[in-house]
Structure 1
Amino acid sequence: MILEQATSKTAKKVHPSILVMWGDKFQEWIATNVVIQLRRKGIRVKIIGLQGRTARGVNGLTIEADLPLGQAQELIGSPIGDVTHIVFPCNTDELKRLEYDPRLREFLASVAKQGVQLVLGEDCAKYYSLELLRDFGDNIAFCPNDDEINHFVESLAASLPYAN
């Protein structure tokens, strides 16, 4: 699915926010590319730790999250709560492992109701039907895992309400 313009509900908001989920064995080069490029454009990006504040990526890089998942729920409805996208820079094995995290399931169910678009690694497309993702329906985009990521992030930034 191509990134969609934010819904009319979200388009009225002035400062969109992107959440980048971070956990053990996630793909750090995708996470860091998304975070750095969007922050350089002045877009609010928060890294959300799935297993606490720190986790080690697939290549051994440890990244400290801005907030643990337990505090991320509080963002919804707050000034940073204008969340338009949630990015999961992980592969299919990690996505399947997350299927059984009740905190994450509850969080995703709540943001899906608000029209937030989920962004997954392109190799996760075959697991599109996971129970964890069901509330998003077709509101899922797939991020390339290669050199096309820069173009993808540019498209993501351009899709945000204030960028137009």
Structure 2
Amino acid sequence: HCFNTMKNEYPQFGGNFEVLHYSQFVDGLITDGKIKPVKMMDVTMAYHDSCFLGRHNGVYDEPRQVAKAIPGLKLVEMGSRCRERGFCCGAGGGHMWIEESQGTRVNHTRTEHFLDTDAKTVGVSCPFCLQMMTEGIQSKGLDADKESKDVLEILAESLED
């Protein structure tokens, strides 16, 4: 959300500067050899594409490239609901603060997509998605077995030796 606002809305107010998402910046650091993940991580991670990063700004590869640079991390997709066909977690539409009176919460549906994978971890690149996916996992009573983490958190763990 902040990335999208700074990149696409600030220019109309004179904010004409280059804006990178952290995954783009960190991917460049890894490519340039300035960051080297070294610790083996026994993690199977399904990546969730956030709406504003992915569909609104076309950033799909860099978060995955950061994840793929982590030794031992196995990256899986959420079936056909990834990249351009990704499914919203609900936060962007304000569902973080709304209790639906009918139907299923959007983040619970997205959590089901995650649970259909063999991953223990759902990786995100958005703090709102992190909250929504964490709540979805907790709502299923699976927080002892499944987790939601920002890709950068896993990368940070892999830098520690």
Asked if Structure 1 and Structure 2 have the same fold, meaning a TM-score greater than 0.5 normalized by the shorter chain, the answer is no
The TM-score with structure 2 as length reference comes to 0.38
Higher relative strand content: 1
